[in-house]
């Protein structure tokens, strides 16, 4: 259709102008872009780890540590079940090769003991050989728990990274128990490792004021208490030790929020808030124990042991100690993100410097310029003025790709730059098809406007089929790929959509406007 309705012309011009406006901030430095008023487009294309540098960390989830805890829990379950009958006699209760074993001295009570243990721990396999019992967690349940531990660890790592404010992080599973973390632009890998490596298991317990640390070291430690180190949050080192009760009064799982703040003396601290269940437990514990020491335990280290001066009934409290502003912010971040279900080990750590990224960007820019010059020269040589129209559309296409990526905050990686180069070539393919079709129609004796109309109409089906199949491939790459592969798929997809707009609408408008203005009798193809 040769006639263009005014609204189509307006949409095309508006799209080009908006593309220029949203792509323009990419010509500025990051600091200059930040100074642009917020009501104006100021977003830039996010650069991936290979372009701007950053931290690459490979973590391993210590699943065995959790499984050992679960075997210990199974041991306590068995002990509780055996103690239901005070007249029951047994011996050798302990752990052997990840299984709980014991020997029953009252053989007539075998069925009753088996039933009591089954009721308390339905996920355990119970094997009885005469008077010998062997309890193990079922294999299918172990596999389910392993998957759950890794999935939960990935989610907690993601929350902690998001709390840090890192843009476009890559967090993905590798193998059965590994997590790959890539953080573009992060220059402090030690702080990242510190935040990711902490399990952040928070509990509130009472201090055993009747037992001193010296008594505990000499073996006079009650079974209901344990000796824990006190951590100096300013130096992150253990300064002394304190005896606390094993019973957990309130768990950190009931926290709903935690923020870095300042106490009444202006020192950095961490304020926190419980949900309704935690608020009730916290209120009961503080109301009934005014004047006692309340230990705040993080990862088996006491970070503070304040005196309960009055009941805390609102579910809101504050953690004080020898904090710095940074350590207070880090602790609040960990508490907000939640506790890891298992410890994480750093298997590999790599820092990518910005110099390498700058070299990659420079090489990509040079490649784009060389490719653009060659394409421009070919199109002008092959199709003359109509080839120049295709080159104008090529530049518009490049601008619109940058604009769309800036708006979507898509990450540009080195493969993404390759995708942009490939897209430029594909957009020229569409113009080659159109010009060849128009040339054929001109040689067949059609008038200039008729040749343009027929040429575009017949080329459209081929262009649509080719681009549609490519988009389908890119969707599959994005769905099943990871990291830089996804970046490649994103840039190709954006480039295809913008190239179809420029080739079918923009180039067509320019050609028709030129032919009508000059009243040509023969097309310059």
The top-scoring range by mean pLDDT among 96-110, 325-339, 461-475, 508-522 is 461-475
- Residue by residue, what is the 3-state secondary structure of 19-47? HHHHHHHHHCCHHHHHCCCCCCCCCCCEE
Two structure tokens written together for 275: 């949900």
Q: How confident is the model at residue 483 (pLDDT cuts 50, 70, 90)?
A: low
- Residue by residue, what is the 3-state secondary structure of 394-423? HHHHHHHHHHHHHHHCCEECHHHHHHHHHH
**How much is the pLDDT for 315?**
81
Give the C-alpha separation, 236 to 323, whole Å. 10
Two structure tokens written together for 173: 């599973």
Where do the domains of the chain lie, and which CATH numbers do they carry?
Answer: 6-53+354-518 (1.20.1640.10), 64-142 (3.30.1240.20), 198-350 (3.30.1360.200)
Mean pLDDT of the chain: 82
Specify the residue for token string 């824990």: 228
Q: How far is CA 173 from the centre of its chain?
A: 11
Give the C-alpha separation, 465 to 379, whole Å. 23
End-to-end CA distance of the chain: 20
Q: What is the pTM of this model?
A: 0.60
CA distances from 294 to 133, 208, 347, 357 (A): 41, 10, 37, 51
Give residues with Cβ within 8 angstroms of 119, minimum separation 6: 81
- pLDDT higher than threshold 60 for residue 121: yes
Q: Is residue 132 helix, strand or coil? A: strand
- pLDDT higher than threshold 80 for residue 107: no
CA distances from 437 to 4, 394, 441 (A): 21, 19, 6
| Long-range Cβ pairs for the range 284-290 (8 Å, 24+) | 285/204, 285/206, 285/249, 285/250, 286/310, 286/311, 286/312, 286/313, 287/311, 287/313, 289/206
pLDDT tens digits, one per residue of 347-397: 888 776 665 566 766 777 787 788 778 888 988 888 888 889 888 988 899
Per the model's pLDDT, the better-predicted residue between 86 and 344 turns out to be 344
- pLDDT higher than threshold 60 for residue 496: yes
**How much is the pLDDT for 487?**
77
**How much is the pLDDT for 2?**
65
pLDDT tens digits, one per residue of 154-211: 888 888 887 777 766 778 888 888 898 888 877 777 777 777 877 777 888 999 988 8
**How much is the pLDDT for 363?**
77
Q: How confident is the model at residue 1 (pLDDT cuts 50, 70, 90)?
A: very low
């Amino acid at each position: 259709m040769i006639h263009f309705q005014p609204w189509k012309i307006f949409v095309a011009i508006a799209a080009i102008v908006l593309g220029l406006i949203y792509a323009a901030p990419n010509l500025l430095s990051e600091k200059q872009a930040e100074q642009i008023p917020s009501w104006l487009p100021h977003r830039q294309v996010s650069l991936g780890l290979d372009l701007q540098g950053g931290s690459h960390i490979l973590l391993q989830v210590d699943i065995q540590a959790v499984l050992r805890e679960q075997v210990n829990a199974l041991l306590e379950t068995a002990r509780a079940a055996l103690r239901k009958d005070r007249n029951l006699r047994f011996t050798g209760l302990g752990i052997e090769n990840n299984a709980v074993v014991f020997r029953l001295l009252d053989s007539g009570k075998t069925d009753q003991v088996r039933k009591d243990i089954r009721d308390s721990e339905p996920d355990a396999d119970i094997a009885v050989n005469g008077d010998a019992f062997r309890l193990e967690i079922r294999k299918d349940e172990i596999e389910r728990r392993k998957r759950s531990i890794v999935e939960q660890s990935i989610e907690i790592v993601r929350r902690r990274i998001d709390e840090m404010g890192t843009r476009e992080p890559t967090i993905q599973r590798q193998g059965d128990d590994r997590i790959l973390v890539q953080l573009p632009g992060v220059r402090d890998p030690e702080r990242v490792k510190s935040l990711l490596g902490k399990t952040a298991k928070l509990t509130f317990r009472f201090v055993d004021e009747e037992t001193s640390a010296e008594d505990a070291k000499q073996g006079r430690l009650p079974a209901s208490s344990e000796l824990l180190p006190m951590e100096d949050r300013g130096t992150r080192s253990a300064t002394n030790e304190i005896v606390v009760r094993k019973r957990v009064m309130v768990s950190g799982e009931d926290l709903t929020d935690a923020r870095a703040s300042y106490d009444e003396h202006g020192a950095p601290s961490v304020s926190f808030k419980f949900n309704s269940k935690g608020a009730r437990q916290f209120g009961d514990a503080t109301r009934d124990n005014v004047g006692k020491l309340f230990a705040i335990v993080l990862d088996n280290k006491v970070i503070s042991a304040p005196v309960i001066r009055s009941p805390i009934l609102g579910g809101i409290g504050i953690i004080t100690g020898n904090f710095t502003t940074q350590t207070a912010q880090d602790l609040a971040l960990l508490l907000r993100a939640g506790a890891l279900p298992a410890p994480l080990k750093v298997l590999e750590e790599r820092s990518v410097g910005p110099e390498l990224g700058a070299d990659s960007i420079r090489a990509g820019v040079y490649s784009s310029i060389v490719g653009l010059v060659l394409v421009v020269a070919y199109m002008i040589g092959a199709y003359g003025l109509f080839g120049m129209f295709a080159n104008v559309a090529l530049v518009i296409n490049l601008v619109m790709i940058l604009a769309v990526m800036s708006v979507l905050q898509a990450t540009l990686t080195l493969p993404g730059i390759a995708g942009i180069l490939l897209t430029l070539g594909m957009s020229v393919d569409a113009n080659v098809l159109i010009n060849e079709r128009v040339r054929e129609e001109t040689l067949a004796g059609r008038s200039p406007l008729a040749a343009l109309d027929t040429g575009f109409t017949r080329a459209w089906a081929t262009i649509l089929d080719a681009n549609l199949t490519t988009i389908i491939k890119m969707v599959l790459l994005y769905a099943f790929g990871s990291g830089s592969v996804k970046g490649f798929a994103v840039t190709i997809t954006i480039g295809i959509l913008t190239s179809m707009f420029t080739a079918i609408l923009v180039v067509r408008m320019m050609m028709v406007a030129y032919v009508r203005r000059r009243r040509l009798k023969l097309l310059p193809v």
